[in-house]
Amino acid sequence: MRLAALLMLMMAAAATPAAAHAFLERAVPPVGSELATPPGQIVLTFTEGVEPLFSTIEVRDAHGSVPTGKPRLPPDNARQLVIDLPSLPGGEYTVIWHATSVDTHRTEGSYRFTVH
């Protein structure tokens, strides 16, 4: 009886939406930022741990995709995705991210920054 109650509690917890989705908590460069110096990396911090193999970060300029490295986790933070950038000329950039959290739920979003 007690086990059944525990199982039901666990199932209810698993079914709760948004309990463990990876939402964007912080971005570097920041959302909407205007930068005097081109950034060398994009660092996205999520609300949950993420799987870099099943996550993408695309950076677009006015012409299309900018070639970047693959997303990776820094050694000290399982909630961050990092990509290396080539040297970016002045212009407006869009960051499009798709994240898969450690519970396999997928989230996505995009934001812009400008390099002067």
Which residues are at the interface with Cu ion (CB under 5 A)? 20-21, 103, 105
Nearer to Cu ion among residue 103 and residue 108 (C-beta): 103
Q: Which phi-psi region, left, alpha or beta, contains residue 104 (left: φ > 0; alpha: ψ -120 to 50)?
A: left
- Smallest distance, Cu ion to C-beta of residue 97, A: 16
Nearer to Cu ion among residue 92 and residue 103 (C-beta): 103
- Which residue has the closest beta carbon to Cu ion? 105
3-class secondary structure for 22-43? Answer: CCEEEEECCCCCEECCCCCEEE
Asked if residue 29 has a cis previous peptide bond (ω within 30° of 0), the answer is yes
- Smallest distance, Cu ion to C-beta of residue 67, A: 31
